[in-house]
Amino acid sequence: MTSAPSPAAAAAQPGETFDAIVVGAGFAGLYMLHRLRALGLRTRVFEAGSGPGGTWYWNRYPGARCDVPSMEYSYQFSDELQQEWNWSERYATQPEILRYVHHVADRFDLWPDIQFDTRVTAAHFDEARGRWIVRLDTGTEITARFCVMATGCLSSANIPDIPGREDFRGPTYHTGHWPHEGVDFTGQRVGIIGTGSSALQSIPLIAAQAAHLTVFQRTPTYAVPARNAPLDPADVARIKAHYPEIRARNWQEPFGVDFHQRSESAHAVSAEEREREFEKRWQEGTLGFLAAFSDLLIDPQANDYAAEFIRRKIRSIVKDPATAGKLLPKQVVGCKRLCLDTQYYETFNRPNVTLVDVSETPIACITPDGLKVGDTGYTFDRLVFATGFDAMTGALDKIDIRGRGGLALKEKWRAGPRTYLGLATAGFPNLFTVSGPGSPSVLSNMLPTIEQHVNWIADCIGYLETHRQRLIEARTEAEDAWVDHVNEVAGMTLYPRCNSWYLGANIPGKPRIFMPYIGVPPYVEKCRQVAANGYEGFALSA
């Protein structure tokens, strides 16, 4: 039993000093607060939303749910927590994940150190004092020795700059900023732009409610059926009895989650065996479809076996051949995020759903009652932008972060983000990023890798305290070597082959650089070694 939640923090006062500030109260910020408080640091979390949860606070669109099994998409730092919490479904819904977030905030009494409805607008490093001066959107300035950016990888919504955007007469929504009260589409004609993960989850539910749904698709998406279901209590009991072994095994997996990675090449088996393996994984309903063979994300021919399998499935599900043809993805499977769906392709068999291909002729403009593709007009009453995020750097770019010599982080990262381990960046002492560019982050089971980052940062701060060091800062040469390594690893795979947000390709003008690091086990080992060697690659000063 948890007691009634404590009230959230009162507004920080001008000039108030903290040992550490944390930006963001998602899974990263909450656990960071827990760890820093345990070190005895006076810590304050600032959160723009009115409640905790980050991604799961903002993304309330119909059908929003996780695509990593709930039993693995949960904190592991407290065995009591993982034993007492009961997930109801294989893949948890957004409301259930948000209930879990609240449970964690209650259980660890995190509320008194979180200030909601407050955006951090600037953080400037004061070299003379060795402290960060942090400005809030309330106008208040405070200072802190450590600054942890727990701002999320997919938190800065992208609304494309389509001409006439302000002219639309009806309500518009972005999936990442969904109204808390929900939206009733009954009897409405709805348009939706985008066919990524958020669109895939929401389209079947919007279509079931709306009078008509028009889907504007620029790039077709590969999806595997989620086959979500209530969790079997016997399975839950078995997992809970073996949590430590299961978690330990997952740390050895390339994405930090057990996808039953097969070690053979797709070329090493017969065509029948390949088909059997793909079909088995299609029936299981997991992102582990891409772990069917060792080289699916490395060898173009191997990848095409998997791609062609999904394309055949799409042709068999979608009844109208012309619509099926438009839904067939051509790009490498996996270089944009593979999706798990529930009745996505089937939805295009509904008489009230129209698919419009905007790959050749883009959306020309938004009009008061719809939009135009070339000269063809489409009318609807409501418009949904399922157009994704300025990923990994977008949320940091919105804050005026300045390090030594007043250098703006945005300026330093003009040609693409540069970090050491995705944790720190040279010239910005005592500033940490959780799941920053250059870490596995979005190519991993986010919750465990968030925990790994938070643990590393907290241990590092603890080390500084016990060794009486005031500052820690990534060395440029270590950072350069890490950036080269991140690129080198990505270059050995098929990931950089399409216009994905992993590359920043979805944002006009954003430098094209592969941002996440591929491979959880070598990354975790590198972090461990760096710490064990007295924070190798960092400069520490008293």
The region, left, alpha or beta by phi > 0 then psi within -120 to 50, assigned to residue 130 is left
Cα 4 from Cα 431, distance rounded (Å): 34
Quick check: 31 binds ligand N01 (CB under 6 A)? no
* CB nearer to ligand N01: pick between 154 and 426: 154
Cβ proximity to ligand N01, 115 vs 342, nearer residue: 342
3-state secondary structure of 222: coil
Among 25, 386, 443, 494, interactor with ligand N01 by CB under 6 A: 386
Given 18, 26, 33, 67, the residue binding ligand N01 (CB under 6 A)? 67
d(CA 107, CA 4): 9
- CA angle 42/43/44 to nearest 5° reads 135
Taking the C-alpha atoms of residue 431 and residue 343, their distance in angstroms, rounded to an integer, is 44
Region near ligand N01 per CB under 6 A, out of 82-90, 189-197, 316-324, 411-419 = 189-197
Shortest CB 288 distance to ligand N01, Å: 14
- CB closer to ligand N01, 297 vs 386: 386
What minimum distance in Å lies between the beta carbon of 259 and ligand N01? 15
Half-sphere exposure of 51 (CA within 13 A, CB side): 17
Paired tokens of 236: 């839950």
Q: Is the Cα torsion angle 536, 244, 102, 113 positive or negative in sign?
A: negative
Site string for ligand N01, 498-527 (x = CB under 6 A): ---x----x---------------------
Judged by CB under 6 A, the residue of 70, 115, 219, 445 near ligand N01 is 219
Give the residues across from 437 on adjacent strands.
439
User: Tokens representing 36?
Assistant: 């820093």
The answer to whether 194 contacts ligand N01 (rule: CB under 6 A) is: yes
Asked if 164 touches ligand N01 (CB under 6 A), the answer is no
* Residues between 283 and 322 with contacts to ligand N01, criterion CB under 6 A: none
CA separation for the pair 134, 478 (Å, rounded): 27
Q: How many CB atoms lie within 10 A of CB 227?
A: 14
Find the binder of ligand N01 among 8, 28, 147, 199 (CB under 6 A). Answer: 199
- Nearest Cα neighbor of 12 from 149, 138, 148 is 138
Question: Which of positions 438-467 make contact with ligand N01 (CB under 6 A)?
Answer: 442
The answer to whether 195 contacts ligand N01 (rule: CB under 6 A) is yes
Rounded to the nearest whole angstrom, what is the least distance from the CB of residue 22 to ligand N01 in the complex? 22
Q: Does 47 bind ligand N01 (CB under 6 A)?
A: no
What does each C-alpha distance from 493 to 435, 486, 489 come to in angstroms? 21, 11, 7
DSSP string of 351-373, one letter each residue: TTEEEEE-SSS-EEEEETTEEEE
Residue 118 or 286 with smaller CB distance to ligand N01: 286
The residue (of 18 and 289) whose beta carbon lies closer to ligand N01 is 289
Size of the chain in residues: 542
Q: What are phi and psi of 272, to 5 degrees?
A: -65, -40
Q: Which one of the spans 10-18, 177-185, 194-202, 314-322 is the region binding ligand N01 (CB under 6 A)? A: 194-202
Mark the segment that binds ligand N01 (CB under 6 A) among 109-117, 187-195, 276-284, 482-490.
187-195
For ligand N01, which stretch binds (CB under 6 A), given 211-219, 276-284, 517-525, 526-534?
A: 211-219
Is residue 151 a contact point for ligand N01 (CB under 6 A)?
no
If binding means CB under 6 A, how many residues of this protein chain bind ligand N01? 27
Are 192 and 216 a contacting pair, CB within 8 Å? yes
Tokens of 367: 């009009």
Residue in the shown chain whose Cβ atom is closest to ligand N01: 196
Residues at the contact surface with ligand N01, assessed by CB under 6 A = 66-67, 154, 160, 162, 175, 193-199, 201, 216, 218-219, 337, 358, 363, 386-389, 442, 501, 506
